Structure 1
Amino acid sequence: MYHFDYVSRKKAMPYKKELIEIINRVQDEVRSDFTFQFTFIGSSKRNMITYDSKTNKGFDFDVNIEVNDDDEDYAPKEIREILREALNRIARNYGYSPCEDSTRVLTIKCIDYRRSSIIHSCDFAIVHNCKEGQQYIQFDRQTRACAWAFQAQPDRDLERKVDVLKKKGFWNEVLDIYLDKKNLNTDPNKHSRSLYAQTINECYQRHFGK
Structure 2
Amino acid sequence: MSVITIDGHIGAGGPELGKRVARMFDFDYVDRIALPRTLTEGKQTAPVGLTDRFWAIVERAVSGFALGNAAGDPYFNVPEALLLPLTWDSDGPAEKHSETSASNSVDNLFDLGNTVLVHRAGVVEAGERTALKVGLFASWEDRVERIMKREGLKSASDAENIIERREKLQREYFGDVHGAAPDDHSLYDIIVDTSSENIAVASIKVARFAREALALQPA
Q: TM-score, normalised by structure 2?
A: 0.26
Find the structure with the greater CA-based Rg. Answer: 1
| Normalised TM-score (structure 1) | 0.27
Tell me: higher relative CO, structure 1 or 2? Use CA pairs within 8 A at least 6 residues apart.
2
